[in-house]
Every structure is written in C-alpha cells, then in structure tokens.
C-alpha cells in the first residue's frame, strides 16, 4: 500500500486520460481508501449490466457474488474528467479534493 502519490490534479489526470496502456503510464482503474473505506475508480464499466460511461466510482462491499456486482457497488458514473473531478458521490466531497488528499492510500492500479 502506498500513501497518495497524487500531489496535484495534473498528476492524477495525466494517468486517466488519453489512451489507456499501463506500460505508458495510463491506467484502467485505481483502488484506494479514503476515511478507511475502499473505493475503485474505473475507466468504463466494470460489469456488463451497466450502461456505458467513461468513468465509474465504486465502493467496495462485502458482497462478492458475481451476479450482484462482484464486491463493488457503483456510486457515480460520468463521461468526462471534469464531471468526475466535480463529483461529490464520496463523503459529499469533490473528488478533485479527495484524489489529492494526503490521507488517501493507494491500494493498486491496473
């Protein structure tokens, strides 16, 4: 586990816009904790039963059944980085403030 490496919004947005290719520093998803709760940012849908979108914010649940979303519940979805950054789906706080918060712990990127 790594404490937050995103010091500013450019550090974050540069990894989640453009062509997604981990070998070039662009990622499909990010697992992180904020206030001891685990979340996942995913580029696109995680599950086939969801409508198409560019970014999805999910919360980890105790339910790991494949038919009921494999352990994550969708909190917010959007089709632009600006909408993602302005989202208040987590703790009624703008995602732009959460993602650069020094207390956010990065669990992994894929």
Q: pLDDT tens, 74-100?
A: 999 999 999 999 999 999 999 999 999
Interval 5-22 mean pLDDT: 80
Residue with tokens 């919004």: 9
Instruction: Could you list the beta-strand ranges (E) of the chain.
Output: 2-3, 29-34, 37-43, 55-60, 72-78, 105-109
Under 8 Å between Cβ of 34 and 98: yes
Beta bridge partners of residue 31, listed in sequence order = 40, 108
Where is 39: in which H helix or E strand? strand 37-43
What's the predicted TM-score (pTM) here? 0.85
Determine the pLDDT at residue 9: 92
Cα distance between residue 73 and residue 56, in whole Å: 10
């Amino acid at each position: 586990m790594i404490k937050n490496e995103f010091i500013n919004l450019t550090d974050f947005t540069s990894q989640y816009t453009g062509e997604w290719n981990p070998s070039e520093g662009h990622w499909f998803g990010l697992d992180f904790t904020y206030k001891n709760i685990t979340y996942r940012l995913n580029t696109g849908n995680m599950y086939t039963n969801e409508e198409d979108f560019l970014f999805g914010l999910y919360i980890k649940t105790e339910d790991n059944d494949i038919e009921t979303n494999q352990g994550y519940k969708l909190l917010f979805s959007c089709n632009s980085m600006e909408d993602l950054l302005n989202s208040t789906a987590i703790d009624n706080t703008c995602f732009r403030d959460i993602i650069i918060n020094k207390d956010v712990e990065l669990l992994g990127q894929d």
